[in-house]
């Protein structure tokens, strides 16, 4: 249970809000590279952290991301012409390059130097792992681009989708660290038949990029088996999955305070995904969710009750009657309302990871507001992935987990 003020701190990400200012210190996924398939192709609308923007790919193949509104008289740059290394507003022909400079202003007399005074708000972009990332914060504080393994592997090793979730980003983010729901919400839908036992231990180890979140189960002879999920600021997760399966990844990027874009990625560090691995994803059985053709809205959504199949739910073959992990998570999290009212919750011991996530974010935010340098500003901090390992009696998760999830340590060590 949170106070109203704490809840507001966590959920608001618009310009000038504490969480919004914090998130603007990081590189943020803005869109798939393939949405801008070639130089000088049509611009696309992007909404991030409450800001309306337009993305385009210039003649050199580089990506620009602008304020949607032309600084002249607010016309939308979405209708603009993507011409030789710049996007041109169609109202009066003002043209801007991807740094936001006005490079042509044909409506003014040739001798005018007005164009040198005019800039459009532009955010720098980079492309990594098939995604255009942008940095919306103070230029002088631009950090390194996070060095996620999934973004470094060849495209053949990776399968990525995105979809809109119609609720606040933090609701979805919390869902990613809610361990106990795995034994219920997704029951019947896991590859192993759906029985996922509850962990006995819930631990968290703070790191320089966020934290490692561990679920422990007793083995024989005082040994404990741990699954370790990664939480990387500001909204990333690398999922610990049992068995020899691809690594799963999520980023929950705020669109505005009542919608977020979920990027869902599966990858193999060292080989292409094979046909079997692709099948589950293509049938929307795992973390991905089917969207309407050409868009990011889920085919199964709040307006149609996520197409719940009550017969299937009744049969017990699926706990929910909802198709696929992705929609199960989406569905239950959206059902809490656009912004969940955390002042009326009742949390138990199995919610400890949720509590730890909130504490971490509130503490980090408070430090940030007090001037402390935020975590995760170096690229190599992100060279981690989820892991599963066994610890002997007397060994603590907090001591071992941060090392075990490093890329240079085998992922499933005994």
Binding site for a copy of itself (CB under 8 A): 40, 42, 69, 71-76, 78-79, 81, 90-93, 105-109, 112, 114, 117-118, 178, 180-181, 183-185, 198, 200, 305-306, 308, 310, 313-314, 319-320, 322, 328, 331-333, 335-337, 340-342, 344-351, 354
Smallest separation (angstroms) from a copy of itself to the CB of 88:
9
Integer Cα distance of 43 and 46 in angstroms:
10
Q: What distance in Å separates the CA atoms of residue 4 and residue 118, rounded to the nearest whole number?
A: 41
Q: Are 373 and 355 in contact (CB under 8 A)?
A: no
**Least distance in angstroms from the C-beta of 39 to a copy of itself:** 12
**How near is the Cβ of 238 to a copy of itself at its closest, in Å?**
23
Cβ atoms 329, 175 nearer than 8 A: yes
Smallest distance, a copy of itself to C-beta of residue 83, A: 10
Q: What are phi and psi of 197, to 5 degrees?
A: -75, 155
Of 97 and 334, CB closest to a copy of itself: 334
Separation between Cα atoms, residue 113 and residue 122, nearest integer Å: 21
Task: Give the nearer residue to a copy of itself in terms of CB position, either 91 or 368.
Answer: 91
The CA–CA distances, whole Å, from 17 to 2, 13, 22, 141, 368 equal 18, 6, 8, 18, 12
First-to-final CA distance of the chain: 38
Biggest distance spanned by C-alpha atoms of the chain: 85
Q: DSSP for 322-358, please give it.
A: -SSHHHHHHHHHHTT-SS--GGG----GGGHHHHHHH
Shorter beta-carbon distance to a copy of itself: residue 202 or 389: 202
Cβ at position 301, least distance to a copy of itself in Å:
13
Least separation in angstroms between residue 346's CB and a copy of itself is: 5
The helices-and-strands tally (H runs, E runs) of the chain is 9, 19
Of 77 and 384, CB closest to a copy of itself? 77
In the complex, least distance from residue 373 CB atom to a copy of itself, rounded to whole angstroms: 33
Distance in Å, CB of 93 to a copy of itself, minimum: 4
8 A C-beta contact, residue 177 and residue 232: no
Nearer to a copy of itself, 236 or 342 (CB): 342
Measured from the CB atom, is 40 or 296 closer to a copy of itself? 40
Tell me whether the omega of the peptide bond preceding residue 234 falls within 30 degrees of 0, making it cis.
Answer: yes
Range list of H helices, 213-351: 275-282, 310-315, 325-334
For residue 16, which of 42, 45, 49, 38 has the smallest C-alpha distance?
49
- Of 63 and 185, the one with the shorter C-beta distance to a copy of itself is 185
Least distance to a copy of itself, CB of residue 85, Å: 15
Distance of alpha carbon 387 from alpha carbon 385, whole angstroms: 6
Nearer to a copy of itself, 120 or 232 (CB): 120
């Amino acid at each position: 249970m949170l106070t109203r003020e704490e809840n507001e701190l966590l959920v608001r990400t618009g310009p000038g809000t504490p969480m919004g200012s914090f998130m603007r210190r990081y590189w943020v996924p803005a869109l798939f590279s393939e949405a801008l398939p070639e130089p000088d192709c049509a611009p696309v609308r992007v909404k991030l952290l409450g800001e309306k923007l337009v993305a385009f790919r210039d003649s050199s193949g580089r990506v620009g991301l602008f304020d949607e509104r032309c600084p002249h008289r607010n016309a939308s740059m979405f209708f603009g012409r993507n011409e030789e290394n710049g996007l041109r507003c169609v109202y009066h022909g003002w043209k801007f390059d991807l740094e936001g400079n006005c490079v042509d202003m044909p409506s003014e007399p040739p001798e005018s130097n007005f164009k040198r005074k005019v800039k459009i708000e532009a955010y720098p972009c980079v492309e990594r792992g098939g995604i255009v990332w942008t940095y919306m914060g103070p230029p002088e504080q631009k950090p390194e681009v996070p060095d996620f393994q999934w973004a470094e592997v060849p495209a053949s090793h990776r399968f990525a989708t995105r979809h809109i979730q119609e609720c606040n980003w933090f609701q979805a983010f919390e869902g990613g660290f809610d361990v106990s729901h795995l034994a219920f919400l997704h029951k019947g839908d896991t590859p192993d038949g759906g029985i996922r036992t509850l962990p006995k231990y819930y631990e968290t180890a703070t790191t320089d990029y966020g934290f490692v979140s561990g679920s422990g189960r007793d083995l024989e002879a005082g040994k404990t088996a741990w699954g370790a999920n990664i939480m990387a600021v500001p909204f990333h997760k690398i999922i610990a999955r049992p068995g020899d399966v691809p690594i799963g990844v999520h980023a929950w990027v705020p669109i505005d305070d009542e919608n977020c874009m979920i990027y869902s990625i599966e990858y193999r560090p060292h080989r292409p995904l094979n046909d079997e691995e692709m099948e589950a994803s293509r049938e929307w059985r795992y973390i991905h969710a089917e969207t309407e053709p050409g868009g990011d809205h889920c085919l199964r959504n709040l307006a149609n009750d996520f197409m719940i199949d009550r017969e299937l739910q009744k049969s017990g073959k699926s706990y929910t009657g909802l198709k696929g992990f992705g929609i199960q998570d989406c569905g239950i999290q959206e059902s809490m309302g656009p912004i969940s009212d955390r002042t009326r919750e009742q949390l138990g011991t199995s919610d400890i990871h949720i509590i730890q996530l909130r504490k971490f974010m509130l503490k980090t935010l408070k430090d940030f507001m007090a001037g402390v340098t935020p975590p995760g500003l170096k690229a190599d901090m992100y060279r981690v992935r989820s892991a599963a390992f066994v610890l002997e009696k007397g060994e603590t998760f907090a001591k071992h987990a941060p090392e075990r999830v490093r890329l240079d340590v085998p992922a499933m060590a005994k």
